[in-house]
Amino acid sequence: MTATDVLLLEGVAAPGRSVDVDLLVVGAGPAGLYAAYYAGFRGLRTAVVDSLPEPGGQVTALYPEKMIYDVAGFPGIKGRDLVAGLVEQAARFDPVYVLGERAERLGNEAGHRPRPGDRLVVTTDKGTRIGCGAVVVTGGIGTFTPRPLPGGAEWEGRGLTYVVRELAAHTGQDVVIVGGGDSAVDWALALDGIATSVTLVHRRKHFRAHAASVADLERSRAVIVTDAQVSHLEGDGTLHTVHVRHKDGTVTPHQAQAVIAALGFTADIGPLESWGIEIVDRKILVDTAMRTSVAGVYSAGDITEYSGKVRLIAVGFGEAATAVNNAATYLDPDQPLFPGHSSDDPAGIGAPAAH
């Protein structure tokens, strides 16, 4: 099963319908997908809502072709393959996916601010009403928008992109990558040997990317242009030249059929700020049980904050399991916090929780 296949499942909710589950996961990134698996393992009926049209969060939207090296058990795995595996892992428990819809309002069944013990209702921007006993927010960094390349708007979709969805799409092309962070350097490395040529343009002398990646880049065939910015793009309906302005004011043309602008992105956690949960600097404050300041609402992944927080996918997986296990005991105090190891169950499925 691939990440895209989830859109074809019967478990995808139509906009405007009502969904009734034990647990709602807000965010279908890696932490959210693992939370959906673990909730199923705990015997909880689960729904997953995400504003993006397919699961995977930032991984799917921003770097599906990038290799990820810090997930336990995988010496290296492409972003899209990691997401596909997480979707398949959760699929045995048939979570309901509410995709392309943003979770907006949180209340109780009467439409008021929820109190401890209330059944929760989350309403999306498209009118879907999701009733649940508890919520786990795994919204990553919230809704994110790539920072645009100045003067490049008219070339979007005609040679200018902000993400590499398929490396093979750039086979035989001259590619200019703009940026100095990990994404820019990683894409330059990944395209070296696939594209005819790779040129990386960065406005500063030093890169923000990992030093080891920069060292690999310097050993690659990519052309590195620092202290420079893209002046303008040129083409005759189809992009053919990128003009780069250097610090001394000179402008150099570079042949290119594709420009990848890896300039970062802006993030907005949007409606979550109206839910009454404690938020500082666009991060949700949680305790060691991943509880937020609102009863029944938990959080995991990059969107959370606590002393000593480390933002890694691997950490998000652990936080998701912690959040789900504590949510299970919130829903039924007679349930144990730790359900046992999946390896103790030949089917890999824990005993259903009482509801």
Copy the structure tokens of residue 156: 């979007």
Number of other CB atoms surrounding residue 205 within 10 Å: 10
- Residue 51 per-residue DSSP state: S
* Annotated binding residue 343: yes
Mapped onto helix, strand or coil, the DSSP state of residue 68 is strand
Number of other CB atoms surrounding residue 123 within 10 Å: 18
CA angle 114, 335, 339 (to 5 degrees): 120
Rounded to 5 degrees, what are φ and ψ at 87?
Answer: -65, -45
Mapped onto helix, strand or coil, the DSSP state of residue 335 is coil
| Contact criterion met (CB below 8 Å) for 92 and 349 | yes
| Contact criterion met (CB below 8 Å) for 119 and 108 | yes
* Annotated binding residue 63: yes
Q: What is the CA radius of gyration of the chain?
A: 22
* Annotated binding residue 229: no
Rounded to whole angstroms, the Cα distance separating 138 from 27 reads 5
Q: Three-state secondary structure along 185-221?
A: HHHHHHHECCECEEEEECCCCCCCCCHHHHHHHHHCC
H or E element at residue 328: helix 313-331
* Annotated binding residue 103: yes
Rounded to whole angstroms, the Cα distance separating 298 from 158 reads 42
Length of the chain, please?
Answer: 355
* Annotated binding residue 58: yes
Binding-site annotation: residue ranges:
50, 58, 63, 103, 144, 302, 343
Binding residues for FAD: 50, 58, 63, 103, 144, 302, 343
